[in-house]
A = this chain, B = another copy of it.
Amino acid sequence: MRKIIDIQKKLLPDLLQVLETRYDILHRIHLEGTVGRRTLAASLNMTERVLRSELELLRAQGLLDTATSGMTLSASGRQLVEEMEPIVKELFGLSDLEEEVRRAFGLKRVIVVPGDSDESDHVKLELGRAGGRVLRDSLSSGDVVAVMGGSTMAHMARHFSIPSQMKENWFVPARGGLGESVDYQANTIASELAKRAGARYRMLHVPDHLSEEAYQTIMQEPNVGEVVDMIRSARIVVHGIGDAVTMARRRKLTEETRDELVKDGALAEAFGYYFDRQGKVVHRMATVGLRLEDIEAAEHVIGIAGGASKGEAIAAVMRFGHDDVLVTDEAAAREALRHI
């Protein structure tokens, strides 16, 4: 059953939303027995007119009877509501979860896709696509978008699409090359996103570990300086979330640094910073790019990560408290909630 809906959802992305509102309407009428349009609108948080259109449809379907004293479910309406109850529970289980996560971490918006990225590549893909949708919705003309690297981000980029081109937008890597495979580098991802959005992009080719002197020198480069300025003005930041130890290894930190990280309780990594359980920054990458204050200034900070194994890391980064939107999967969401 879930499958049918998933299939249909590809063709009718707002299927579930419409289904949910209509069910809510019927359900509420079912509870009230007989109720008027305005009362109903108030209790469902809908404007009168919108509700009215829906009611007209439901009536045309013979699910509602309307009398001068208000509206009542018809026999088939009652039957429908009863049959739907278990289905609704199954279908909208995740939106409850989304709401729970949203509250727990004080976020603006949470998207949870079903499944576990650790288990299935298909879920990873959906996660990427869901991230893409969120990014698309947040995007306004002229925005600068700073993106991080990582495999989830790469998935997102690969399946990003947008209805109309956004020529006035810029995509930039949030940080210099972080020594990962090319496919997963922020530079690559920024450029792929830009191509798919019909937007422009800049790259930032800066080695990972820089001495203070080299850093000063390279920032003098007009090419680099410009890009860094742009990065720091980003209105949207999109980033993955990683496990601290894994990321440290992937970025080839020295063994001493890694030990130090562990000693400091580093648990999670995001946009080049390492966080402990409480969401406190315990370490930062020595490279050019987005600083913490830029993240605070950005209007849309979107975190994307999934898989039960990342649940704790996600919780840590969310506690840091500067994310606005979290896109994750069911397994990670539940795991993150376990870590309060």
Contact = CB atoms under 8 A, between A and B. Distances in A.
A50 interface: no
A4 B5 contact: yes
Contacts of A1: 1, 4
A222 interface: no
A182 interface: no
Nearest to A15: B12
A57 B7 contact: no
Q: How many copies does the complex hold?
A: 2
Interface in A264-321: none
A21 to B, nearest CB: 9
Contact of A13 (B14, B61, B125, B162): B61
B15 A60 contact: no
Contact of A60 (B26, B60, B76, B133): B133
Given A4-B4, A19-B8, A57 B14 contact: yes
A14 B60 CA distance: 12
A129 interface: yes
Given A18-B15, A22-B12, A7 B87 contact: yes
A161 interface: yes
- Grouping DSSP codes into helix (H, G, I), strand (E, B) and loop, the A interface class, with mixed when no group exceeds half, is helix
A134 to B, nearest CB: 13
A59 B161 contact: yes
Contacts of A10: 61, 63, 76, 80
Contact-residue size bin, chain A (C-beta under 8 Å from the other chain)? 35 or more
Contacts of A162: 60
A62 B161 contact: yes
A260 interface: no
B60 A7 contact: no
Interface of A: 1, 3-5, 7-8, 10-15, 18-19, 22-23, 26, 56-63, 76, 80, 83-84, 87, 125, 129, 133, 159, 161-163
Given A1-B4, A11-B26, A12-B19, 10 more contacts: A3-B83, A8-B8, A8-B19, A13-B61, A14-B57, A56-B163, A60-B133, A60-B162, A60-B163, A62-B125
11 contacts: A8-B8, A10-B61, A10-B80, A11-B58, A11-B84, A12-B18, A12-B19, A13-B61, A14-B57, A15-B15, A60-B163
Ranked 10 nearest A-B pairs via Cβ = A11-B22, A60-B161, A56-B163, A10-B61, A7-B83, A11-B19, A62-B159, A12-B15, A1-B4, A62-B129
